[in-house]
Amino acid sequence: MTSPEAPRPDPPSDGGDRHSSGPGDAAARLTVSDSASPVLGLHPRALSHPVCPRAKSMWRLNALITNSVILAVLVVAALLWEPVRIWSLILAAVTIVSALVEIFLAPSIRYRVHRWDLTDQAVYARSGWVTQHWQVAPFSRIQTVEAKRGPVQRMFRLASVKVTTASASADVTIVGLDEQDADSLVQSLTEATQSTLGDAT
C-alpha cells in the first residue's frame, strides 16, 4: 500500500516583483492541480498561486488614502472643537501608527498570505494578514463568476475575481490578480461550472 501524496507546499516568495502577465504564463498558472482535497472545505490545502506582486503597491495606496482621510478629519476636529481636541489628537497619533503599519508592514505580509488554487472540483483562496481566512467554492455550488476593477486596481492593472455560491458565507473573492490572469480565471471557472453536473441553487 502506498502512502498518499503529500500536498505541495506554497512556493517560496521573497516579496519581489517578478511577475509575467503573458497569456502563456496565465494559462500555466490556471492548470488544474493534482492534489485536490478528498473532502472539500474540511482541510486547508497548500495553495499554488500567489497574487500579482503589484498588489502590494495597491494595498499601500489604499492604506495611504484611507488613513489620510481619517487623519484630516481628526486634525480639523482638533482645530475647530476645543472640547474634543485632546481626544482627536490621541486618535490622530493612533492613526499615524496604524498607517505606518498598514503601509510599510502589512502589504508584504498580505502578499505572502494571499494565495489561490484551482482544482478539478473547486476554487480555493486564502487571504488576510493578522488572521488568515480560507475560502472554498465547489464547482457544483457556483452561481456567478465576475472580475471587478476598482479605480485603484485599474491604476495597477489589477482585478478581483468574485465567485458567488448558493450560500453567501461560502463566496470566494480573490484580490490582487493581474488583469489577464483574472479574465483567464473567470473563463476557466465559467467553463468548469457549466460542465459540472450539480445543484447550484
C-alpha cell at 57: 503597491
Q: How many CB atoms lie within 10 A of CB 148?
A: 12
- Please give the Cα distance from 54 to 16 (Å, whole number): 10
- Please give the Cα distance from 193 to 168 (Å, whole number): 17
Beta bridge partners of 174: 161
Q: Which of 41-55, 114-128, 159-173 is modeled with the greatest confidence?
A: 114-128
- pLDDT surpassing 80 at residue 5: no
Read off the pLDDT of residues 11-45 as tens digits, 9 standing for 90 and up: 444 444 444 343 334 333 343 333 334 334 435 56
Identify the pLDDT of residue 72. Answer: 97
**Would you kindly state where each structural domain of the chain is located, as residue ranges?**
57-107
- Please give the Cα distance from 131 to 129 (Å, whole number): 5
Residue 168 binned pLDDT confidence (cut-offs 50, 70, 90): confident
- pTM for the whole structure: 0.75
Identify the pLDDT of residue 167. Answer: 79
Identify the pLDDT of residue 196. Answer: 77
Residue 23, CB-side half-sphere exposure with 13 Å CA sphere: 1
C-alpha cell at 31: 492548470
Query: Which residues, 6+ apart, have CB-to-CB distance to 160 below 8 Å?
Result: 147, 148, 149, 150, 153, 173, 174, 175, 176, 177, 182
Beta bridge partners of 163: 145, 172
Strands (E), the chain: 49-50, 115-118, 122-128, 132-138, 142-148, 158-165, 172-178
- Please give the Cα distance from 6 to 2 (Å, whole number): 12
Q: How many CB atoms lie within 10 A of CB 123?
A: 24
Identify the pLDDT of residue 170. Answer: 76
Read off the pLDDT of residues 82-129 as tens digits, 9 standing for 90 and up: 999 999 999 999 999 999 999 999 999 999 999 999 998 999 999 998
Identify the pLDDT of residue 12. Answer: 42
- DSSP β-ladder status, 122-128 and 132-138: antiparallel
C-alpha cell at 7: 500536498
Identify the pLDDT of residue 124. Answer: 94
Read off the pLDDT of residues 144-160 as tens digits, 9 standing for 90 and up: 999 999 999 999 999 99
What backbone phi and psi angles, to 5 degrees, belong to 118? -130, 120
Q: At residue 65, what is the residue type?
A: I
